[in-house]
Amino acid sequence: MTTRLTTYGPWAVVTGASDGIGRAFARALAKEGFKLVLVARRRQALESLAKELTSTEVRVVDVDLATGEGLARVEAETRDLDVGLLVASAGFGTSGAFLDNAREAELSMIDVNCRAVAALTHAFGHRLVKRGRGGLVLLSSLVAFQGVRHAANYAATKAWVQAFAEGLALELGPLGVDVLACAPGPVRSGFGARANMQMSMAATPDVVANATLAALGRSGTVRPGFLSKLLEWSLMFLPRWGRVRVMSLVMGGMTKHQALTPHRS
């Protein structure tokens, strides 16, 4: 019987593994017998997770993926491993009016959400093609399919990931590499607090991770979580300008508390 471990193992690299969706992916993959490389900035959180995952071999790589040095370290510290799966779940968001947000935060988000994904996908993609099999899971979002007021830059970074995954799936599929875009809606994790959003109807990280792994090799895009599926259905027949308006209203509900606090500079 073919399993995900035989198809994509023995090693999986999970970025953003210190919290939320990345942490849920690590736990789910460990249950399936994958050996894991856990990547994130917070070493203490990674080591805590590694101690929890006693059923498998774990390597911890604490780096900042917004830097070239961090990306180089991930490549260097996995060079001796037979990596068959990359889960690029590291990322963060901002919210509110773009011009009110700190420019460095907005640029750093592009570095993590886009540049790091491109760099790691390029590096591991070569290795997966050479071995003739493997998988790439890239974290898109519910907001990736249209522009969104008060999340303009974040939505743009996720639109890039979505388009990137769709194109790569056609390029790499014939070479034995499955590429999947995961486009969840709100998720109960540390993401919302960092992005200054208040989320309701949020899915759990476990739901996102399990649904995504189940779709790997079977679909090009998966939308885990009830709200993501509901909005996909309700927006399906709207023109793009209509989707922009509806999703901006949804984002407005998640950021309305910001009107009660001073704008950030």
What lies within 8 Å, CB to CB, of 157 at 6+ separation is: 91, 109, 110, 113, 114
Provide the token pair at 153.
């830059």
The one catalytic residue among 25, 124, 154, 160: 154
Half-sphere exposure of 199 (CA within 13 A, CB side): 20
8 is catalytic: no
Q: Which residues are catalytic?
A: 154
